[in-house]
Amino acid sequence: MPGAKAAELGRRCTAIVGVVLATTSCNENVVSPAVCPEFCPPATLEVFDSIIPASVVRDSAFRGYVKAAESQRAQVAADGTVESNPIFRFQPFSDSIQLGGGFVDAPRPVVETDSFRFEFIVNRRSLDTAGTEVPELPVFRLPADIDSNTTQADLEPYLQDSTELAAIPVADDFLGGNLGAVIPGDAFPTFDEDNNVVSLGLGYRFSRPGFADLLTSDSTFLATILIRYAKVDSIDGAPVERADTVIVDFDSYVSPPTSAIDNDLLSIGGAPSARALIRVDIPSGIVDSSSVVRATLILVPTEPIGGITNDTLFVLAEALPYDLGAKSSIVVLPSDTLGSGVLRIPVDWTDTVKVEITNILRAWRSPSTLPHTISLRTLPEAGSIAEGRFGSSRSPIGQPFLQISFVPPIVVQGGGG
């Protein structure tokens, strides 16, 4: 073909393609209202709701996952019969304090301690008032050698008026944040013998049950501090005022010992924390092939939810990557439970509780190899003394079961009408 002809062909083709594209390049829009069943495929989505009574099998509970000293919260609470007391052991103060900023000057010895300031962070608290009375958090002096083995019984002699160093009022409008108290400089007579280590405890004093949850060092690095205001020798011999701060070396809370796990019950919560393992046996036609719209695990408390009145048990359901019984780790799904994300159960609750496990069942859908096992734990674990006990599959009454709303599998193809 001569070159001129080819060029003409090229130009004309370009023009034609331009015309065609201008005409046909509109956005596609095929979305239209369905007219069913007359103009729809024969297979339509249909939701079935099924209660599966014997769906929970080989369920069990274990205690000891998180101890109070490892929790992200420490609960101070009292309801007249039960008390929970946070305890803190601070890092040792130095015998000397830097006179100026930085490390320019040599530290100067402390000649006199004026006072201490004890500060901590409250995460949440019970909101209950009694007229003009407000709750108080008394601060107690504790032995310097407290540790994770220290029990409430060990500290009973120290949680008394005689060892009370200060009392912190909690105002009605205080919802959370920093609280603190000034402690006299001579409040720790064994300060030197204890190698400058200070330990403190907190109590809850109010005419009605109440609580406050404190952040611990496992949650925030500077959750609790102790500031010392002291006089140190200056270079010219005249004492000057200086301050230094120590953080906690150990923090925890003590409460009455938790009861042993009852093998016929499912326990969740407490400190050390208890988890329940729920193994589920449901038809593969539901879990493998169907589209689960909503799945609910229904638990029946065998006794009122334990803890301080007005407190709440936060329960989280999670899938397991493999079922090794009590040693199983958990799978963090994008959203473990639908709706609120975490089930909230008020203390003293006696009615059935419904744990949404929709996303867990959807994660089990074939070809998933996850075991059909669910872990139930509190959040944060061992963060309070609240604990729930529910019927297990071995209980004569109050056995757990599942309610599942699902859409059976369909193949949408032609043929409708």
Name the residues that contact other proteins, by CB under 8 A.
Answer: 1, 5-6, 8-10, 12-13, 16-17, 19-20, 23-45, 47, 49, 291-294, 338-339, 356, 358-359, 362, 403, 405-407, 409-417
Between 371 and 416, name the residue whose CB sits nearer to other proteins. Answer: 416
Distances (CA, A) of 270 to 65, 127, 260: 10, 22, 11
Between 278 and 404, name the residue whose CB sits nearer to other proteins. Answer: 404
- Say if CB 45 and CB 39 are below 8 A apart: no
Between 21 and 397, name the residue whose CB sits nearer to other proteins. Answer: 21
Distances (CA, A) of 407 to 43, 234, 287, 289, 367: 12, 80, 11, 9, 18
Q: Name the DSSP class of 174.
A: -
- Say if CB 130 and CB 117 are below 8 A apart: no
Shortest spacing between CB 389 and other proteins, in angstroms? 26
CA 107, CA 233: separation in Å to the nearest integer? 9
Between 99 and 338, name the residue whose CB sits nearer to other proteins. Answer: 338
Between 28 and 173, name the residue whose CB sits nearer to other proteins. Answer: 28
Task: Write the CB contacts of 158 (distance below 8 Å, at least 6 apart in sequence).
Answer: 140, 141, 142, 143, 201
Shortest spacing between CB 152 and other proteins, in angstroms? 41
Shortest spacing between CB 33 and other proteins, in angstroms? 4
Shortest spacing between CB 331 and other proteins, in angstroms? 18
What's the full length of the chain, in residues?
Answer: 417
- Say if CB 372 and CB 320 are below 8 A apart: no
Q: Tell which residue, 322, 339, 340, 344, has the closest CA to residue 331.
A: 322
Between 396 and 415, name the residue whose CB sits nearer to other proteins. Answer: 415
- Say if CB 57 and CB 279 are below 8 A apart: yes
Shortest spacing between CB 345 and other proteins, in angstroms? 17
Q: Is 3 helix (H, G, I), strand (E, B) or coil?
A: helix
Shortest spacing between CB 400 and other proteins, in angstroms? 18
Shortest spacing between CB 91 and other proteins, in angstroms? 47
Between 27 and 132, name the residue whose CB sits nearer to other proteins. Answer: 27
SS3 sequence of 320-352:
CCCCCHHHCCCECCCCCCCCCCCEEEECCCCCC
Between 9 and 243, name the residue whose CB sits nearer to other proteins. Answer: 9
Between 218 and 356, name the residue whose CB sits nearer to other proteins. Answer: 356
Q: What is the DSSP string of 230-297?
A: EEE--TTS--EEEEEEEEEEEEEEE-SPPPPPPTTEEEEETTTTEEEEEEE---HIIIIISEEEEEEE
Task: Write the CB contacts of 67 (distance below 8 Å, at least 6 apart in sequence).
Answer: 148, 252, 271, 272, 273, 382
Between 15 and 326, name the residue whose CB sits nearer to other proteins. Answer: 15
Q: Which residue has the tokens 């402690």?
A: 183
Shortest spacing between CB 368 and other proteins, in angstroms? 16
Q: Which residue has the tokens 């599959």?
A: 393
Distances (CA, A) of 217 to 9, 21, 250, 253, 382: 80, 66, 8, 12, 14
CB atoms inside a 10 Å sphere around CB 322: 12
Shortest spacing between CB 12 and other proteins, in angstroms? 5
Shortest spacing between CB 134 and other proteins, in angstroms? 38
